[in-house]
Amino acid sequence: MDTRTKIAGVELDSYVLNASGVRDTTLEELEAIAKSDSSAIVMKSCTIEPRKGNPEPRYMRLQLGSIQSMGLPNLGYKEYVIFSSQLKKYNKPIIASVAGSCADDYREMVSAFQDSDVDLIEVNLSCPNLEGKTLAYDFEQTGEILRAISDLGDKPYGLKLPPYPDVYHIQVAELIEKHGVSFITLINSIGSSLIIDSETEKPVIKPRGGFGGLCGDYIKPIALGNVRAFYELLKNEVSIFGVGGIKSGTDAFEFLLAGADAIQVATTFEKQGPSCFGRINKELIEILERKGYNSTQKVKGNLKYL
């Protein structure tokens, strides 16, 4: 079974890898990903300066997923530039993730990663847990950031995006095409979600009055809808990572039908640890074999209609 795939020309050995944000902040955690069956090493979204993140509790497992308001705890981008050279020996694509608060931040970080050992740069415009707005919902600021990073080097860069309702899909696709974005990662956790414990009459996480990003099963249909919509609009010219509620080979197969070039796993990785990547990949291969397909590429985007 050929499960190789490409994101922006970078070859991945399998369809399954880790998503930014889970167990990927320290070198030790990143080495565990390197040694796992994840087909790439995606690093925690980093900022200009190191951050401790939000007060705890800031992550809560839920029956059908999780809610989080981590607040970008990370070691600062310079550390991840160093990590990229230390991780190179594992011979797996390395993906940086950058999260700034203005165009200058993005320019500084993307420029540093252009001169590093990473293979791809994921520009996170959708962290829902900071004061102020989610950047990717402000199209003027998104355009400004894209103009600031587009001329910094040859490594492909992509955008990590929040879910959009249909009225914005065309506008976002135009921004992506206009600014040479090579891949998109859909979707980030759904911000401004609130889980309330009716016994305690309190939210389950502390930061920002309990608002956080919703992850897991709850968001899978929304992620699939966004993958499909952007797949149709971008016609294979921009690679797509699907993220959101993938815990089995069946989930991965659904993202493949919708048009994702590869999938990233977050909540399930947090709950089950690094063995989840091999398991999901094995389950995906079993489904493909049972259906008589011999590669993921033949199935990609081939959703049938009723």
- How many residues contact ligand DHB, by CB under 6 A? 15
Q: How far is the CB of 208 from ligand DHB (least distance, A)?
A: 10
Pick 207 or 249: Cβ nearer ligand DHB: 207
3-state secondary structure of 14: coil
Q: Which of 5, 39, 188, 193 touches ligand DHB by CB under 6 A? A: 188
* 127 is annotated as an active-site residue: yes
Q: How far is the CB of 88 from ligand DHB (least distance, A)?
A: 24
* Helices vs strands, H then E, count in the chain: 9, 16
Applying CB under 6 A, does 213 fall inside the site for ligand DHB?
yes
The stretch near ligand DHB (CB under 6 A) out of 119-127, 175-183, 240-248, 275-283 is 119-127
Q: Which of 45, 116, 182, 281 touches ligand DHB by CB under 6 A? A: 45
Applying CB under 6 A, does 267 fall inside the site for ligand DHB?
no
Q: How far is the CB of 129 from ligand DHB (least distance, A)?
A: 4
> Among 121, 124, 92, 87, which Cα is nearest to 16's?
92
Exposed e or buried b for every residue in 43-75, given b needs 16+ CB within 10 A? bbbbbbeebebbeeebbbeeeebbbbbbbbebb
Instruction: Show Cβ contacts of residue 71 under 8 Å, excluding neighbours closer than 6 positions.
Output: 51, 53, 54, 58, 129, 130, 207
Q: How far is the CB of 70 from ligand DHB (least distance, A)?
A: 3
**Phi, psi of 276, rounded to the nearest 5 degrees:** -65, -30
Q: Which of 46, 102, 127, 276 is catalytic?
A: 127
Q: How far is the CB of 51 from ligand DHB (least distance, A)?
A: 8
Sign of CA dihedral 131, 137, 138, 144: positive
CB of 36 closer than 8 Å to CB of 16:
no
Q: Which of 124, 185, 226, 268 touches ligand DHB by CB under 6 A? A: 124
CA atoms within 13 A on the CB side of 304: 1
Q: Which of 3, 14, 16, 21 touches ligand DHB by CB under 6 A? A: 21
Applying CB under 6 A, does 265 fall inside the site for ligand DHB?
no
The stretch near ligand DHB (CB under 6 A) out of 34-42, 63-71, 114-122, 281-289 is 63-71
State how far the Cα of 209 lies from the Cα of 200, in Å rounded to an integer.
Answer: 14
- Helix then strand then coil, in percent of the chain rounded to 5, is 40, 20, 40
Applying CB under 6 A, does 216 fall inside the site for ligand DHB?
no
Cis peptide before 207 (omega within 30 of 0): no
Q: How far is the CB of 147 from ligand DHB (least distance, A)?
A: 22
Find the binding residues for ligand DHB in span 126-185 (CB under 6 A): 126-129
Q: Which of 189, 264, 281, 296 touches ligand DHB by CB under 6 A? A: 189
State how far the Cα of 69 lies from the Cα of 56, in Å rounded to an integer.
Answer: 9
Residue with the closest Cβ to ligand DHB? 70
> In whole angstroms, how far apart are CA 280 and each of 117, 138, 272?
28, 35, 11
- Catalytic residue list: 127
Write out the residues near ligand DHB by the rule CB under 6 A: 21, 45, 69-72, 99, 124, 126-129, 188-189, 213
